[in-house]
């Protein structure tokens, strides 16, 4: 699944660790999501969307 997570995080000046702490996940999980090696669970996707004030569909795209 493609996503804009890395760009959104960078625009806020957050490290992967900063975002991981906000999401209550590991930095490795954030890295795996950003690189497309891991698709977040629906509850985690909702938390990500909430943190960035966006819709899930605007952050994650199929393909």
Residue 8 has pLDDT above 70, yes or no: yes
Question: E strand or H helix at 43, and its extent?
Answer: helix 42-52
* Residue 25 DSSP label: S
| Mean pLDDT value across residues 25-30 | 98
Cβ contact 18:52 at 8 Å: no
Q: How would residue 63 be classed by pLDDT, with cut points 50, 70 and 90?
A: low
């Amino acid at each position: 699944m493609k996503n804009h997570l890395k760009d959104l995080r960078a625009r806020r000046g957050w490290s992967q660790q900063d975002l991981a702490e906000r999401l209550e996940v590991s930095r490795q999980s954030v890295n795996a999501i950003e690189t497309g090696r891991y698709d977040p669970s629906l509850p985690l996707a909702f938390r990500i969307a909430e943190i960035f004030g966006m819709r899930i569909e605007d952050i994650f795209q199929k393909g």
